[in-house]
Amino acid sequence: MTLLEARDLTVSYDHRIAVADLTLTLKPREITAIIGPNGAGKSTLLRTLNGQLRPSSGAILLDGEPLQRLSRRTISRRIAVVAQEAELRFPVTVLEFVLGGRFAWATNTGWGWETERDVKVADAVLRETELSALSGRLMNELSGGERQRALMARALATEAPILLLDEPTANLDLSHQATLLTVVRNRCEHGDAGALVVTHDINLAAQFANNIVLMKQGRAVQAGTPKAVLQPQILQDVFEVRVIVDVHPVTGGPRVTPIHERNP
Amino acid sequence: MIDSATGIAGRTAPANRLTLRKTLISCVVLAGALLLTIILTALIGSESLPARASLCALASFGTNACGLTQDQFDILFQLRLPRILLAAAVGGSLATAGAAYQALLRNPLAEPYLLGVSNGAAVGTMIALVFFGANQWTRPMLAFTGALIATLAVYRLARGRAGATPERLILAGVIVTTFLSSVIVFVTTLMDATRIRSFTFWLLGDLSGTSKTLLPVAISIAVAGALALTLHARSLNLLMLGERDAFDLGVEVGRVRVVVFVVASLLVGSSVAASGSVGYVGLVVPHLARLSLGSDNRISIPAAALGGALFVIVADTLARTIIAPRELPVGAITALIGAPLFIYLLKRA
């Protein structure tokens, strides 16, 4: 079974090709990390998979159905996104913010009210992301890391089986990075979900992802298991920096260390 | 069901979540206050009316004079009541439009007057007056068209590469406002001198020339518009936090934007056609509504509609009584209250 599939996807805007001939599949219980230098088209790929950008050619299939035939709400029940930070010019509590994730399930999207189940789901994801104690606080009073977790909580509240995460750990300290990725891992293993994670942290990708797609200039130059993709020569070619790849002493997976050579 | 839902929220999450019951209570209280204000302000004016007889006549909906003289009866039912009802329609319309613009544009400073939308409607109304003076219906129609064009112009101008920041939006509003002001000056010169004074008054927002034909139109549009926007409250709640996020969560962003632009332009158009540009109502009232009841649009939009009606009735009562028998334009009073608040909000933004 495949949750999400992209076939020969090409996306271009402003006469520039951002994603070229990219093919990938996301299966349940799988985390795929997308890595690559800045401007490789990683975020563009996520926005296209979610229907925000229209591909110039190729197809996106959601549960086997073409994405463009599905309504916005149907897609939002299947795909949850964590992207850049929300704009918080109005005071909103953490609970209200997270309940926003239930919108796609509402029977009345106009002047309807959250059901008991909506509130239960919100409470559960607040616990999962360790935000229960902050649920009555205003979003703009939170720290960057807490806000990032609230974004994650809202995405989880959608109960979508497909998670598209753009730099989900960017603002988080080491322990919260681990918590967050464990939450994603649990969703995938016990909730039959699949996650596509764009990240700059190659070692985090090596530890948490089943597959890694390495992108450069819109193309997937390598795809496969962390061991297969994270080879010194491949990384050197893509990132244009010398790296050492050795074995992580605990996980046994690959560990990447860039070497910053000083000019003599 | 509502009770058990709040029970859950109260047990596991201390947050004050908005519920249907809370919303209905707030709306009923505000509606009661509005009704009371309508009745009380009908008794206040340069001509004093006997309170008991007036209340009796009002309670009978004008079917019984209750001992009022014909003059007193006419003052109450032909002058004051229509004017108060128009004030309510204008205030409700402008505050609802303001609340919706603020949520959609993610900008607490958005307001029909400051965005230039009111001026767009004013230009439309003036064109109707100058070129189609005989036909009353062209006024609200051209006012609506003017408001819609001004809205789209500001929206396009404000949208930079990085999206519309609050400052950029206000700047775009200033540009459109000043441009339209010069159009207004230009059209004014086409008028004969006797009409210019009443015109200047009208431009500042004036409810003294309440038109019998337009009053039912203004009231219907105010009620229908407030309902239509309230029925998009949940989408607006998500749009308030960013268009991309709202899209991701299932909001049909494009459709909601069109609805808000069209309905808000109708609201502004009909109120400007009836009373000129009453400024700052759309800023002051939604802000007070959010401050006291929270940011959730399911409550802040209907509360702004009712509160706006109340606010303009009170402002207009002040306008027609503080220097009675002479009158001030109501827009002068609302701006007197609104401008300082705007400065305060701008400093905080």
What average pLDDT does range B204-228 have in this prediction?
88
Query: pLDDT at position B14, please?
Result: 40
With cut-offs at 50, 70 and 90, classify the pLDDT of residue B16. Answer: low
Tens of pLDDT, residue by residue over B133-178, are 767 788 889 999 999 999 999 888 888 665 666 678 888 888 999 9
Q: Do A114 and B13 touch (CB under 8 A)?
A: no
With cut-offs at 50, 70 and 90, classify the pLDDT of residue B127. Answer: confident
Residue A87 has its nearest CB partner, among B12, B241, B295, at B241
Query: pLDDT at position B106, please?
Result: 87
Domain at A4-258, CATH homologous superfamily: P-loop containing nucleotide triphosphate hydrolases (3.40.50.300)
Q: Which residues in chain B (143-172) have CB-CB distances under 8 A to chain A?
A: 166
Tens of pLDDT, residue by residue over B171-211, are 888 899 999 999 988 888 877 777 777 777 788 888 877 67
Q: Do B250 and A99 touch (CB under 8 A)?
A: no
What average pLDDT does range B267-287 have in this prediction?
91
DSSP codes, B315-329? HHHHHHHTTTTS---
With cut-offs at 50, 70 and 90, classify the pLDDT of residue B285. Answer: very high
With cut-offs at 50, 70 and 90, classify the pLDDT of residue A245. Answer: very high
Residue of chain A with shortest Cα separation from B19: A113
3 state DSSP class of B163: strand
Share the mean pLDDT of chain A.
Answer: 91
- For residue B220, give how far its alpha carbon lies from the nearest alpha carbon of chain A (Å): 20
Per the listing, tokens 């006419």 go with: B74
Confidence check: pLDDT of B119 > 80: yes
What average pLDDT does range A91-102 have in this prediction?
93
What average pLDDT does range A7-32 have in this prediction?
92
Confidence check: pLDDT of A220 > 80: yes
Q: Do A79 and A164 contact (CB within 8 A), yes or no?
A: yes
With cut-offs at 50, 70 and 90, classify the pLDDT of residue B66. Answer: confident
- For residue B250, give how far its alpha carbon lies from the nearest alpha carbon of chain A (Å): 4
Domains recognised in chain B with CATH numbers = 29-36+85-348 (1.10.3470.10)
Least confident of A223-232, B12-21, B328-337: B12-21
